Structure 1
Amino acid sequence: MGTAAHPGFDTDALRRGIEDHTAATLLSLYADDAEVHVVDHLTQPSHPKVLHGRDEIGAMLADVYGRDMTHRLEECVVDGDRAAYSESCQYPDGARVLAESMLLLRDGKITRQTMIQAWDG
């Protein structure tokens, strides 16, 4: 008797969504009850911006990946029910953004993401 296989996290979809600016592809990676916690220059670690559910997360993804800028998945590591990745971005004027994300996964879907972002200047 074998064991049931659990779906894995789709790193190819992550790369396609990020590099092809496809918010719908990225949103497909999130569980319905997912949360995204964002820490950056506006939302500090003690009070991160928290997005709840696919509607709020989808709106954020549509905004970010609809911008005139490049996005590149630098690295991605998956270990069981956790994953981490680095994303680098650049605006046409040369300003750069770096985002580091830690993910908690359930059945191959993101249930919680903590993202730390840094900008030039």
Structure 2
Amino acid sequence: MTTAADRAFDAETLRRGLEGEPELLLSLYADDAEFRIVDHQTQPSHPKVLHGRDEIARLLDDVYSREMTHKLEQCVVQGDHAAYTESCRYPDGVRVLSESMLSLRDGKITEQTLIQAWDE
């Protein structure tokens, strides 16, 4: 039997996933999740939009194949929404900063909008 506690979004699992366990991170997404990315290449009027865990998995495979560190800086969870800040760093010192807003259902991410910027 599943309880409300079993379905709660877990910020510690998010941290572990973001900081180096992409399979764990992927497990936080609902099968029908939608992931929007806004940055200087995919601007607000034409964001990159991924549909479903398979497309999100391909993005995570690409991101986590790169030599870089990931750190969850902050996370706030309130009801069926969460928001977090992630910082990343490449070995050459290039930094990336992203902010994400999440919609949740039964403890899983159903929608994510990520806004990111990086050193050039």
TM-score with structure 1 length normalisation? 0.93
Q: How do 1:36-75 and structure 2 match up within 5 A?
A: 36-75=35-74
Shift of 1:5: 2.2
Question: How far is 1:12 from its partner?
Answer: 1.2
Q: How many aligned residue pairs are there?
A: 117
Unaligned segments of structure 1, at least 5 residues: none
Q: Which amino acid letter does the alignment assign opposite residue 65 of structure 1?
A: Y
Distance 1:11 1:78 in 2: 8
Q: Residue 82 of structure 2 corresponds to which residue in structure 1?
A: 83
Measured in 2, the distance between the counterparts of 1:29 and 1:37 equals 16
Aligned to 1:107: 106
Q: CA RMSD in A?
A: 1.0
Give the AA of the match of 1:28.
Answer: S
> 2: distance between equivalents of 1:73 and 1:62?
18
Q: Which amino acid aligns with 1:109?
A: K
Partner letter of residue 68 of structure 1?
E
Amino acid at match of 2:86: E
List 4+ stretches of structure 1 deviating above 2 A. Answer: none
Matched, 1:18 2:24: no
Take 1:5 and 1:55, find their aligned partners in 2: how far apart are those partners? 27
Q: Describe the superposition over 1:54-92 as per-residue Cα deviations: whole angstroms up to 9, x where unpaired.
A: 000001011112210010000000000000000000000
TM-score, normalisation: structure 2 = 0.94
Q: Does the aligned pair in 2 maintain the 1:75–1:87 contact within 8 Å?
A: yes
Q: Secondary structure at the match of 1:15?
A: helix
Q: Distance in 2 between matches of 1:62 and 1:72?
A: 17
- Describe the superposition over 1:33-68 as per-residue Cα deviations: whole angstroms up to 9, x where unpaired: 000000011100010000000000001011112210
**Which stretch shifts more, 11-20 or 110-119?**
11-20
Question: 2 CA distance for matches of 1:103 and 1:15?
Answer: 14
Structure 2 unmatched ranges of 5 or more: none
SS of residue matched to 1:47: coil
Single out whichever of 6-15 and 22-31 deviates more from structure 2: 6-15
